[in-house]
């Protein structure tokens, strides 16, 4: 424990001295471990639900030299909670359940498994994760332990940020003709049984495009299980072995929020 503290302090001191180009990040991680960013940048192309009244806005307040002779930049930002890479807190679909700031870190920082349904999704844009996928996964890769973050990979990330390709329809204000993969009610129930920490997906919603009752949201969130949506770069993750750090903006009373999610990959 003491040794880690010393290393941590050394890294912090070094960060201050060296600037960002030469950050010795590996000193914090096991030899050969790698960091992967699973987050889309927020900008004017960020996708929000078709019925969202607004999208991401960044307004410049200052950018330039001040009268005092130093450079100064600052902006204001405005964004719906649910769009881009983001968190769904349990209260999003379950009254009385946890809001964004109440989520314990154990649900946000945990080992991950990646369940790949991209073969099904390639032939069916409305493909659903089924309990059979979980059973097949466990047969090949071992049990999904309680406290695991389960990431569902459909391959939809390759379509981001093309609205029509990614959501299946680009009619403004209309969410009735969407097509993209998601999680079935039965698979959501199976994930609750396994007491997973959280669930993530590389599409706009854990419920597939045609869903009208958002049943996967309802089932998982009733069990206080949060979701991460529009997760990027899932193809870079191993089936097992990554550690996920999914840290949303800590909004008190939030039903979700913009999320910075990264993975620590074990040494190859």
Q: Which residues are catalytic?
A: 92
With binding defined as CB under 5 A, does residue 82 bind Zn ion? yes
Closer residue to Zn ion, CB minimum distance, 82 or 153: 82
Q: Which of 46, 264 has the CB closer to Zn ion?
A: 46
Contact segment (CB under 5 A) with Zn ion among 35-43, 86-94, 212-220, 245-253 equals 86-94
Between 183 and 264, CB nearer to Zn ion? 183
CB of 20 to Zn ion, least distance (A): 31
Rounded Cα distance between 140 and 61, Å, is 54
Q: Find the part of the chain contacting Zn ion (CB under 5 A) among 74-82, 163-171, 207-215, 241-249.
A: 74-82
Nearer to Zn ion, 100 or 184 (CB): 100
Residue 207 in the binding site for Zn ion (CB under 5 A):
no
Min dist CB 227 to Zn ion, Å, is: 7
81, 108, 110, 144 from 245: Cα distances, Å: 19, 6, 7, 18
User: Could you tell me the smallest distance in angstroms from the CB atom of residue 149 to Zn ion?
Assistant: 16
The single residue among 79, 88, 89, 208 that binds Zn ion, judged by CB under 5 A, is 88
Q: Does 217 bind Zn ion (CB under 5 A)?
A: no
202 contacts Zn ion (rule: CB under 5 A): no
- Closest approach of Cβ 98 to Zn ion, in Å? 14
> Which CB atom, from 133 or from 217, has the smaller least distance to Zn ion?
217
Alpha-carbon distance of 237 to 222, in angstroms, equals 28
Query: Distance between CA atoms of 77 and 57, rounded to whole angstroms?
Result: 6
Using the contact rule CB under 5 A, the part of the chain among 59-67, 160-168, 179-187, 227-235 near Zn ion is 227-235
HSE of 58, CA atoms in CB hemisphere, 13 A: 11
Query: Closest distance between Zn ion and the C-beta of residue 1, in Å?
Result: 38
CA angle 220, 226, 229 (to 5 degrees): 105
CB 97 within 8 A of CB 255: no
36 and 262 in contact (C-beta within 8 Å)?
Answer: yes
20-28, 169-177, 206-214, 229-237 -> range binding Zn ion (CB under 5 A): 229-237
Chain residue at closest Cβ approach to Zn ion: 82
Q: How many residues does the chain have?
A: 268
| CA–CA gap between residue 145 and residue 149 (Å, rounded) | 9
- Please name the residue ranges forming H helices in the chain: 2-18, 105-108, 118-123, 131-141, 163-167, 185-193, 215-222
Where along the sequence are the contacts to Zn ion (CB under 5 A)?
A: 82, 88, 229
């Amino acid at each position: 424990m003491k040794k880690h503290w010393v290393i941590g302090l050394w890294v912090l001191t070094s960060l201050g001295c060296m600037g960002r180009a030469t950050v010795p990040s590996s000193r914090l991680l096991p030899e050969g471990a790698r960091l992967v960013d699973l987050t889309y940048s927020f900008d004017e192309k960020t996708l929000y639900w078709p019925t969202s009244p607004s999208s991401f806005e960044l307004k410049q307040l200052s950018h330039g030299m001040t009268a005092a002779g130093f450079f100064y930049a600052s902006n204001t930002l405005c964004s719906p909670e649910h769009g881009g890479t983001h968190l769904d807190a349990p209260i999003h679909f379950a009254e009385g359940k946890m809001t964004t700031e109440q989520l314990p870190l154990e649900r946000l920082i945990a080992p991950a498994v990646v369940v790949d349904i991209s073969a099904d999704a390639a032939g069916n844009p409305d493909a659903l994760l089924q309990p059979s996928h979980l059973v097949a996964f466990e047969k090949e890769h071992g049990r999904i332990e309680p406290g695991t973050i389960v990431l569902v990979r459909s391959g939809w990330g390759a379509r981001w940020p093309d609205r029509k390709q990614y959501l299946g329809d680009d009619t403004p204000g209309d969410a009735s003709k969407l097509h993209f993969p998601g999680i079935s009610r039965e698979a959501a129930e199976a994930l609750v049984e396994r007491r997973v920490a959280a669930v993530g997906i590389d599409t706009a919603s854990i419920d597939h495009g045609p869903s009208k009752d958002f049943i996967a949201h309802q089932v998982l969130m009733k069990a206080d299980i949060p979701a991460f949506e529009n997760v990027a770069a899932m193809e870079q993750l191993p089936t097992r072995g990554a550690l996920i750090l999914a840290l949303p903006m800590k909004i008190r009373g939030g039903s979700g929020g913009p999320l910075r999610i990264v993975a620590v990959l074990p040494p190859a």
